[in-house]
Amino acid sequence: MPAEILDGVQIANEIKAEVAAEVKQLTSAGLRPGLAAVLIGNDPGSEVYVRSKVKACDTLGLFSEQIIRPDLRSTTELLGIVQDLNRRDEIDGILVQLPLPKEIDTRRILLAVDPAKDVDGFHPFNVGSLAANHPTLVACTPLGVMEILRRSDIPVEGREAVVVGRSDIVGKPVAMLLTNANATVTVCHSRTRNLAEVCRRADILVAAIGRAAMITPEFVKPGATVIDVGINRVEDAAFVQALFGSDGRRQADLAKKGSTLVGDVHPRVAEFAGAMTPVPGGVGPLTIAMLMSNTVKAAKARRGKEHGVATVR
């Protein structure tokens, strides 16, 4: 029996509807959550991401502001922009779109963001709070992974989970979230021995390694839940053909755009897994939904008391 496909678009829409209702309630109490998106350089992918995040703010009723500086290459100047946003009370969330130009010290910039406004969940204070199981603002993609599991009624407590990838943005925080939810967690990486054997132990397998179709059926225990976080743009027509055969949608995508999105999980895993997320349409849509949710959470924590709003969500 083929795997149940976990619809990230539907789950993201549910979360956005909940956020919109909460934003409406908060705004009527005089507290409109605000997000500032900072875009430095001229990376086309970053421009698309920022536009989509600002559009989501507009749709859900949050205040949003874009700071776009394609020619900025000074760490000091960008620090000044971040510090100004830290001081502005109507800004609850600060999003510095990555990657930054190579001339800019990314670590210094991310450390400069007020942890109370760090809606990306990258600041060491917020990472440390997650590690101590007192989460404040948590990275959006890992939060999205947990929401997919929760809203799909997939139990986590007592299960064995394997995370393939140890990035600060996805692998490490999702491992901490799963640990905090009482799973038994193994984190794998490029130097893990017998990787397929380790992965086959997993009841929940999270693939976040950044290599197209790396996780093949030999990595998957029959009936496991497989969460594919990978987003790899593939241009090789022969590779796409090998993965998807005569799938008309994929071929049309390749013909129109010159590439198609492929996850870290091989499509044939669907023949063995109990449930899995697709790419596109799986974890990706949850990232923006959780960014909106984090902005509301930050607004309530920062300004809720002065507006008579409960800060616990």
Q: Are 301 and 311 in contact (CB under 8 A)?
A: yes
Say what percent of the chain tops pLDDT 90.
Answer: 88
Task: Map out the domains of the chain as residue ranges.
Answer: 27-116, 140-285
Give me the CATH code for the 140-285 domain, please. 3.40.50.720
CATH of the domain spanning 27-116, picked from 3.40.50.150, 3.60.9.10, 3.40.50.300, 3.40.50.10860:
3.40.50.10860
At 152, the pLDDT band (50, 70, 90 cuts) reads very high
**Region at 30 (left for phi over 0; alpha for psi -120 to 50; beta for the rest):** left
pTM above 0.85, yes or no: yes
Cα–Cα distance, 142 to 148 (Å, whole number): 10
Per-residue pLDDT tens digits for 231-272: 999 999 899 999 998 788 888 888 888 999 999 999 999 999
Is the predicted pLDDT of residue 138 greater than 50, yes or no?
yes
Q: Are 213 and 244 in contact (CB under 8 A)?
A: no
Q: Is the peptide bond before 99 cis (omega within 30 degrees of 0)?
A: yes
Is the predicted pLDDT of residue 306 greater than 50, yes or no?
yes
Phi, psi of 227 (to 5 degrees): -105, 115
Catalytic residues: 53, 97, 120
At 283, the pLDDT band (50, 70, 90 cuts) reads very high
At 307, the pLDDT band (50, 70, 90 cuts) reads confident
Q: Is the peptide bond before 173 cis (omega within 30 degrees of 0)?
A: no
Give residue 313's pLDDT.
Answer: 47
Lowest mean pLDDT among 49-58, 169-178, 239-248: 239-248
Residues 15-31: b if buried by 16+ CB within 10 A, e if exposed = bbeebbebbeebeeeeb
Per-residue pLDDT tens digits for 72-116: 999 999 999 999 999 999 999 999 999 999 999 999 999 999 999
Topology match between the domains 27-116 and 140-285: yes
Give residue 264's pLDDT.
Answer: 98
Give residue 247's pLDDT.
Answer: 80
Is the predicted pLDDT of residue 17 greater than 50, yes or no?
yes
Q: How far apart are the first and last CA of the chain?
A: 39
Q: List residues bridging with 265 in a β-sheet.
A: 215
Give residue 311's pLDDT.
Answer: 63
Q: What is the mean pLDDT of residues 4-27?
A: 98
Q: What is the mean pLDDT of residues 21-49?
A: 95
